[in-house]
Structure 1
């Protein structure tokens, strides 16, 4: 579909994949909704684009990826993954090192370590704030304080962001540290009870409510980092 107000991303991805696999491409645009509907009806398909190779219909973009033996996102929607967490912590670490270099001309400083944890907290808070309702729904499944006081699930990401921002600035530590220690301690106790005592298999709300990150070691690590950072900055 190549229209005035819409270009199908999967059409572009299919064409790119075919090029990378060494195919010559004969591309046919569907330029109106009428053409698109007629095409679907003619070939008995529900989606576009559709790919033919040597006269044989392969199917849509996902079918084309399967044809070439590649992974398909639709096949692993329910799979657990640590990719979001790795991306967040790796990015936060590089940001902290870059900031340390800009401020002190040195990568490995105490402030770089502090910035890493504080920046991680801020990025994790952003993930939660993207969809507060989804975060709340997942968070309420295991957080002990949120189950007792539901509004805590709304306050949590704002508190995490505030503590992280203040720690980056090195300001109002008398406020930032108690917040980090409090939410970190409640979170750690909640994770330990849900995962290691009750043996429940849950998704972690630490990187947002729509994640497939399993609740357990990663979430516990996040909470322990906040506790440590709160104590470190305070004392």
Structure 2
């Protein structure tokens, strides 16, 4: 006997509910035959909500039981539901993984093997992608940043400039260009950043979110941000020794 589920979802000319599409896919992946009921107008949608005393769509029914929306359906099947307040290192791991993959790919494709250049590219690409995440919403980033950065607290414009400075240093270091700009910039923001994180986390023992992957992240301030800043300091020191040697 086949399993059947009823799905009521918004399907309008200018809006097709993405959660309705995902709910239909999830049901079908679980072996359900889906009795699909598109709600094709605002009037239909409002009437459905009033009839079933619900505030959102889609709504899934299995047998006589109303399961609810997409998240409720995932819970019904024992699948994980994202909690927006939950700590997640996924954005940071994604940055480092892609940066490493790019560095390895370029090393194999252009250098025929690994070298010091591989490590340089890895650090530079990581810096560039972290800066890009911050630049998505500089206002939100700066708000989080001034909460713990020692210089940002005293000179707010620095919080707005930080992502641009990090991106500038990363791009120049990736190509070994204009070291007289990239080295002092990376050394300056890396040193202040490392001192700020160390003081906030290990001296004050504060538990706050890190702005390292942008203002909307749920990464706790600590090892990740400290590593980012130490890497910038190390890169600046290496580039300085290389240019003086």
Considering the TM-score relative to the shorter chain, is it more than 0.5?
A: yes
In structure 1, stretches of 5+ residues that fail to align are none
- The CA deviation at 1:8 is 0.6
Whether 1:72 and 2:103 are equivalent positions in the alignment is no
Give the Cα–Cα distance (whole angstroms) in 1 for the partners of residues 216 and 56 of structure 2: 25
* Number of equivalenced pairs: 232
Matches within 5 A, 1:144-183: 144-183=150-189
More strand as a share of residues: 2
Whether 1:2 and 2:11 are equivalent positions in the alignment is yes
Q: SS at the partner of 1:52? A: strand
Give the Cα–Cα distance (whole angstroms) in 2 for the partners of residues 109 and 48 of structure 1: 55
- The counterpart of 1:24, out of the listed 6, 30, 33, is 33
Give the Cα–Cα distance (whole angstroms) in 2 for the partners of residues 29 and 72 of structure 1: 25
Give the Cα–Cα distance (whole angstroms) in 1 for the partners of residues 172 and 207 of structure 2: 34
Q: SS at the partner of 1:24? A: strand
Give the Cα–Cα distance (whole angstroms) in 1 for the partners of residues 157 and 106 of structure 2: 35
Whether 1:140 and 2:146 are equivalent positions in the alignment is yes
What does the per-residue CA deviation read over 1:154-198, in whole Å, with 9 as the maximum and x for residues that have no partner? 110000000000011111011101110110000000001000000
In structure 2, stretches of 5+ residues that fail to align are 1-9
Q: Which moved more, 1:137-146 or 1:30-39?
A: 30-39
Give the Cα–Cα distance (whole angstroms) in 2 for the partners of residues 216 and 55 of structure 1: 50
Give the Cα–Cα distance (whole angstroms) in 1 for the partners of residues 34 and 112 of structure 2: 52
Q: SS at the partner of 2:67? A: strand
| RMSD of aligned alpha carbons | 0.8
TM (norm. structure 1) is 0.97
Runs of 4+ in 1 over 3 A off after TM superposition: none
- Residue 124 (structure 1) aligns with: 130
Give the Cα–Cα distance (whole angstroms) in 1 for the partners of residues 76 and 177 of structure 2: 56
Give the Cα–Cα distance (whole angstroms) in 1 for the partners of residues 190 and 53 of structure 2: 54
- The counterpart of 2:46, out of the listed 37, 54, 64, is 37
Give the Cα–Cα distance (whole angstroms) in 2 for the partners of residues 173 and 19 of structure 1: 57
Whether 1:96 and 2:103 are equivalent positions in the alignment is yes
Give the Cα–Cα distance (whole angstroms) in 2 for the partners of residues 173 and 17 of structure 1: 53
- Residue 211 (structure 1) aligns with: 217
Give the Cα–Cα distance (whole angstroms) in 2 for the partners of residues 171 and 53 of structure 1: 62
Q: Which moved more, 1:35-44 or 1:184-193?
A: 35-44
Q: SS at the partner of 1:3? A: coil
